[in-house]
Structure 1
Amino acid sequence: MAPPKPGIIPLRPLQFGEILDGAFQTIRRNAAAMVGSALIVQAVSQALLGVVSVAMLQTAQSLESAQSQTELNVLMGPLFGLMGGIMGITVLTGFLGAVLQGVLVVPVSRSVLDRRTGFKQMWKLAARRLPRLLGVAALLTLTSLLALAAAAGIAVALLMSMGPVALGIVIPLWLGAFAAYLWIAVKLMFAPAVVVVERVGIYEGLLRSWQLTKNSWWRIFGITLVVALMVGVIANIVQIPVTLATGGIGSFVSPHPDPSSTGSALLLTTVISTVVGVLVGSVTFAFQTSVSALIYMDLRMRRDGLDVDLMRLMETGGDAHGVPGTPAARGGSAAWPQPGSSWPSPGGQMPGAPQGPWPPA
């Protein structure tokens, strides 16, 4: 007998095609919640980047027209400040993306049982978990910055002390650091979803994500990489006609280039490209987040028997306005892991799972 499929996916461990199909269906059923939230984050980050980019362009033009070393030195300060601003906006975008990853798991989880989620309802369900979700996102962002700063600092110190010979050490060091960072990032990528759905603390969420990905690293990495490549190719294909169209608009607005008309044409084409980029980025981010959430659900079905709990919820109709997979949805069982408990238990068995060895990942 085939497993039931009340919503976007069948209630059993998933295959790659089912994850992609479930992600598409989730966006279609909850477009306002998912694409709308991603659109807000993308619009804010792109607007900030646009303002800083225009300021950098003006500063660069001023550098070209500088008449003395004194004017050049005066303009270098604002230029470095704007470069720092771009780095800060990039960090902020990553932080907001981690927060949104945890929030968007709500409509994905509800869609598994064919429960639609509106924009307001999604944020209402995630509101109580926002403080810890913000903590997890801040910790992940700060750790990434510290790792990058440490690798850059070591590389600069080696180059300054040894000269070009240090490249033979720096390049393997950076490759090894990148591989280690990638491995840890995949191990902790589900921490925001865990904090929201399983209602645990920051440390427990990180530890839970680490344990969920055990023996599944390559599968998770492969799916994530393939989806990222697919999204990148599609986004570039969409941007090609936009680039050609903006070029034509620039020629129409400024048929005889002069400083004033060229600046107006550049501003118009930049605005058009930014708007299209925001729309495309919102959809692609929502899709990638849906894929990540479905991988999380798949891991729990493989390790925790979540599919059995979902079948029970489907039959009883319990917790119709909540998030499937939470402790409340499981009936508040004492077997549900509590903050501070080990993942898995010392006997090697996941709390609440039937006796015997774990299902293979």
Structure 2
Amino acid sequence: MSQPEHGQQPPAGAQPGWGAQPGWGAQPQWGGTPVWPTPPVSPPAHQPAAGQQPWPAQPPTGWPQPGMPPGQPPYGQPLYVAPPKPGIIPLRPLQFGEILDGAFQTIRRNAAAMVGSALIVQAISQTLLGAVSLGLLQAVDSLDTVESRAELDGLLGPFIGMMAGALGITMLMAFLGSVLQGVLVVPVSRSVLNRRTGFKAMWKLAAPRIWPLLGVAALLTFAALLAMAAVAGIAVVLLMNLGPAAFALVIPLWLGAFVLYLWIAIKLMFAPAAIVVERVGIYQGLLRSWQLTKNSWWRIFGITIVVNLLVGVIGYVVQIPVQLASGAVGSVVSPHPDFASMSSALLVTTIISTVVSTLVGSITFAFQTSVSALIYMDLRMRREGLDVELMRLMESGADPDGIPGAPRGRSAGWPSA
């Protein structure tokens, strides 16, 4: 069909030919639709046989499929499944915030077992310390009646004895703390699989491991006391022989001894937990803790320092209202105090402070122990795949009354070692 000339209108009813374009300036007929050329379509790579349905076109890899609900992975990529969290922590290596949250949840779920046991130990320790404090207060009070050197020398012996008693009570607290650290790992391990533990059940599960716990606690306490005595003896010898110039050696000696003690304490802090959970002996527990902390010392040290600072700040904040209230009561009762009234007010303040310290100390000790137990579980997840074993226990429901994390095939009795 011929095309209209430039500037001419096509005849009425005439349509441009197939694929033909209207000339420059020409308009198509009213109601007519111009047909634009279409690009050639390449044939599909696969032609279905007769009677078969054609294959649906697949989108390229990495793009979501049509009709896929939101949140689904792109085509060709695996679906991410978050690790299960049956209890206080997810069954995977832990982060710092998850350790703190798990410790709080453990105390909330097992308050009777954890806080109750810590309260007993704290009550014993604080009662003994309170008795020593009252003895020192009476010794200071009796200084007003001293009139001769002989009477002063007579008071010096009891004073030194009470100082030694305070040191002994401190070591006793460290000993009982090591034992209780191993016992409290039982409710923490069971809470990982959402298994609650009562006071009686906790001590029943920990009872077969009491003797190894007492042994490792005595060993650690005696080693710390021996190291302190050795460093103090060396410092005294240097001061007696060199005089004031010995401080140039004593101060670096104390700093070096403190750093060495801190390093060894972190390396051996999980021995009680290993003795209870893995049912090993004293030597094996110490060796186990040493191996678990390999290449993780700084991380454990950082978490421990932050937790101790947090606990210290909480204890200090709680003690401030007690001190203010004690001072206000003392000023109201005796606005013009003498030595006797000051001693009575100090006695009342000491008793109130001891009670509050016992309550706060039991909670903070349970929290610190929970953090230590969760670090122990985290180290085993990172190094040994303990999370896989815990998933197996969760799915099978095996050993519901035991301690999760114990090695397979080992009885609940004493270890062969």
TM-score normalised over the length of structure 1: 0.90
Is 1:264 matched up with 2:326?
no
Native 8 Å contact 1:56 1:79 kept in 2? yes
Match of 1:236 in 2: 316
2:96 to 9, 12, 16: 16
Which amino acid is 2:313 matched to? V
Match of 1:87 in 2: 167
1:49 to 124, 129, 150: 129
Cα offset, 1:264, TM superposition? 3.0
Match of 1:147 in 2: 227
Cα offset, 1:256, TM superposition? 3.7
Identity in percent: 75
Pairwise CA RMSD: 1.4
Q: Distance in 2 between matches of 1:253 and 1:48?
A: 28
Q: Distance in 1 between matches of 2:360 and 2:236?
A: 37
1:169 to 249, 256, 277: 249
SS at match of 2:201: helix
Is 1:195 matched up with 2:238?
no
Which amino acid is 1:75 matched to? L
Is 1:297 matched up with 2:377?
yes
Match of 2:143 in 1: 63
Q: Which runs of 5+ in 2 are unaligned?
A: 1-80
Cα offset, 1:260, TM superposition? 4.4
Match of 1:348 in 2: none
Cα offset, 1:267, TM superposition? 2.0
Match of 1:344 in 2: none
Larger Rg: 2
Which amino acid is 2:130 matched to? G
Considering fraction of residues, name the structure with more helix: 1
Is 1:209 matched up with 2:289?
yes
Q: Distance in 1 between matches of 2:102 and 2:334?
A: 46
CA distances 1:209-230 after superposition (whole Å, capped 9, x unpaired): 0000000000000000011011
Q: Distance in 2 between matches of 1:12 and 1:165?
A: 55
Q: Distance in 2 between matches of 1:269 and 1:54?
A: 11
Native 8 Å contact 1:189 1:209 kept in 2? yes
CA distances 1:193-222 after superposition (whole Å, capped 9, x unpaired): 111111000000000000000000000000
Is 1:245 matched up with 2:316?
no
Q: Distance in 1 between matches of 2:156 and 2:345?
A: 27
TM-score normalised over the length of structure 2: 0.78
Cα offset, 1:339, TM superposition? 6.1
Q: Distance in 2 between matches of 1:246 and 1:104?
A: 34
* Higher alpha-carbon deviation: 62-71 or 37-46: 62-71
Query: How many pairs does the alignment contain?
Result: 334
Q: Distance in 2 between matches of 1:262 and 1:177?
A: 41
Which amino acid is 1:27 matched to? I
Match of 1:181 in 2: 261
Q: Distance in 2 between matches of 1:42 and 1:106?
A: 19
Cα offset, 1:259, TM superposition? 4.5
Q: Distance in 2 between matches of 1:325 and 1:331?
A: 12
Q: How does 1:86-105 map to 2 (within 5 A)?
A: 86-105=166-185
Match of 2:66 in 1: none
1:38 to 109, 118, 136: 118
Native 8 Å contact 1:246 1:273 kept in 2? no
